[in-house]
Structure 1
Amino acid sequence: MTMSDTTTDVAYAPERPARLPWAQLAPDVYKAMIRLDAASRKGLEPKLYELVKIRASQINHCAFCLDMHTKDALAAGESVERIVQLGAWEESAHFYTPKELAAIELTEAVTVLTAGFVPDDVYDRAAAHFEEAELAQLIAAITVINAWNRFGVTCRMAPGHYQPGQHP
């Protein structure tokens, strides 16, 4: 949170510096990620896309991506309540459509891979709500945000500076 967003009489912890400006040092990879990200979002509802990005970023503890995608979700018209409840979506399923729930569940399965694979029942629930092409796009979007999260967490990208519509 920037000081302009808060009261001035509170002493916040200092912002941790980034470890590595990876996008500047690997510009071809960064540009490829931007293109991959743009390709992965095609055909997906903007609010659903942002919910997926937020949920994966919560799981991966990527503060930079959480900052970015919550701001983008709000700019796309998503409600604060649904964003706040996303971390406890199983307990607050009534905030989401069955299609969104299937996407969120698939996001968790692809992101965590605790069993070493995506369970058939999770995949089948997603497949029941998405046409095949849309499901492929959803899987791509989940995969891409996981890659972004790994860059963000590893390089310790600082949250709080992103404005909606900017690239990471």
Structure 2
Amino acid sequence: MSTATHRRVKIATHAPDFYQALIALDAQSTTGLDPLLVNLVRIRASQLNGCAYCLDMHTIDARHEGDSEQRLYLLSAWREARKFYSEKEQAALELTEAITLISVDHVPDDVYEIAANAFEEKELAQLIGLIITINAWTRVGVTGRMEPGHYNPS
């Protein structure tokens, strides 16, 4: 990693139309999905992508929605802590990892099949849209070096 300190462009300021489109996309991506599942997906993708800003934001949101500290702490090791996550959540987390790390295995058929069995088609399509959207957001956050600690959900 470079140690040079270059001023990072603020996407929201210098590409406001793109930023607003991403906000609109984000709003559409959660339709019909359980808010706890939405936050788990967002947090897991943020963990994988190393986006501190997104991790801060979505863990705050998860707590606000009533998710437990224990589930949030265990999320990075969810396979070893399966009992804390429903089968549907596990399927969503597996798909989140496959899509987020798409260059590794290109979303294996078995992973997709598990998700397809856990979700109705419309819900699965929404989930895929959610995963794609949070990956876009994490790229904005990481590229722009957005700092955690400034998110206010109100």
* TM interval, short-chain normalised: over 0.9
CA RMSD of aligned residues (A): 1.4
Aligned to 1:139: 128
How many residues get paired? 150
Aligned to 1:75: 64
Give me the whole-angstrom Cα distance separating, in 1, the residues matched to 2:86 and 2:7: 37
2:51 maps to 1:62: yes
Give me the whole-angstrom Cα distance separating, in 2, the residues matched to 1:85 and 1:97: 14
Contact 1:106–1:126 (CA<8 Å) still a contact in 2? Answer: yes
Provide the identity percentage: 57
Using structure 1 for the length normalisation, give the TM-score: 0.86
Structure 2 unmatched ranges of 5 or more:
none
Structure 1 unmatched ranges of 5 or more:
1-15
Give me the whole-angstrom Cα distance separating, in 1, the residues matched to 2:73 and 2:105: 29
Q: 1:112 aligns with which of 96, 101, 106?
A: 101
Aligned to 1:9: none
Give me the whole-angstrom Cα distance separating, in 2, the residues matched to 1:114 and 1:85: 25
Using structure 2 for the length normalisation, give the TM-score: 0.94
Q: What displacement does 1:19 show?
A: 1.9
Contact 2:92–2:127 (CA<8 Å) still a contact in 1? Answer: yes
Q: What displacement does 1:102 show?
A: 0.2
Equivalent residue letter for 1:95: F
2:94 maps to 1:88: no
Equivalent residue letter for 2:117: A
Aligned to 2:16: 27
Higher helix share: 2
Aligned to 1:47: 36
Give me the whole-angstrom Cα distance separating, in 1, the residues matched to 2:57 and 2:104: 30
Aligned to 2:117: 128
